[in-house]
Structure 1
Amino acid sequence: MSQPEPTPSLIQQRFALRRERNLAVWMTVGPLVAGSMLLVTRFVEGTAGWFHWLGVVVFIGGAVYGAVKLLAARRATREFETRYGRDAGIQD
């Protein structure tokens, strides 16, 4: 007879939500910084090949993807807090 999967504690669930949020922040900020550095390089050098613009587009796409992940993480945190309370899973 198989045992049901144990559910993670509220602390573990809160840690997982924070991990997702932190990853989403880095996935948003990282491409924005890299893309802006690429744009600065383009303006300093004065040349703008298609490769530069492709890089900018890729970094903007990465930042948008990170922003979508950030919104999803915030939504999941809001649902968690609605279900268990605002201070659920927080240790003092």
Structure 2
Amino acid sequence: MASLIQQRMAIDRMRVEGLWMLVVGGLGAAAGILSWVAGMLQSFNFAPLAAFAVLATFGIVRLVRARRERITFEAQHGEAAGKQTPVR
């Protein structure tokens, strides 16, 4: 069984991964749409656009899952469980 600190860190890591997936997927999908609208591409391939959209969707799912796990974790162990105070 992982300690409370490790559990909180795993939840935070899941949240950060979800944010990265959402940002990269969203920017990639937006770039694909903009290049298609601007007419920069003669023949448009939807595969990269779909891949970035799927990545953004997985990012949203990961963020929601991390939020639910954090709520469950704090309900079981308390709001300050696993938090570390900085050393000065």
TM band (smaller chain): 0.7 to 0.9
Summarize the Cα distance change of 1:18–1:79 in structure 2 as closer, same or farther, 3 Å threshold: same
Deviation, structure 1 residue 73: 1.1
C-alpha separation between the residues in 2 aligned to 1:16 and 1:75?
A: 13
2:36 and 2:44 in contact (8 A); partners too: no
| TM-score normalised to structure 1 length | 0.80
Matched, 1:70 2:75: no
| TM-score normalised to structure 2 length | 0.83
Deviation, structure 1 residue 14: 0.7
State how many pairs are aligned.
85
C-alpha separation between the residues in 1 aligned to 2:38 and 2:18?
A: 31
Deviation, structure 1 residue 35: 1.0
Equivalent positions of 1:1-12 (< 5 A) are 7-12=1-6
Equivalent positions of 1:46-61 (< 5 A) are 46-47=40-41, 49-51=43-45, 53-61=46-54
Identity of aligned residues (%): 31
C-alpha separation between the residues in 1 aligned to 2:6 and 2:21?
A: 22
Larger Rg: 1
1:37 partner letter: A
Deviation, structure 1 residue 44: 2.6
Q: Which runs of 5+ in 2 are unaligned?
A: none
RMSD after superposition:
1.6
Q: Which runs of 5+ in 1 are unaligned?
A: 1-6
Aligned match for 2:22, one of 25, 28, 48: 28
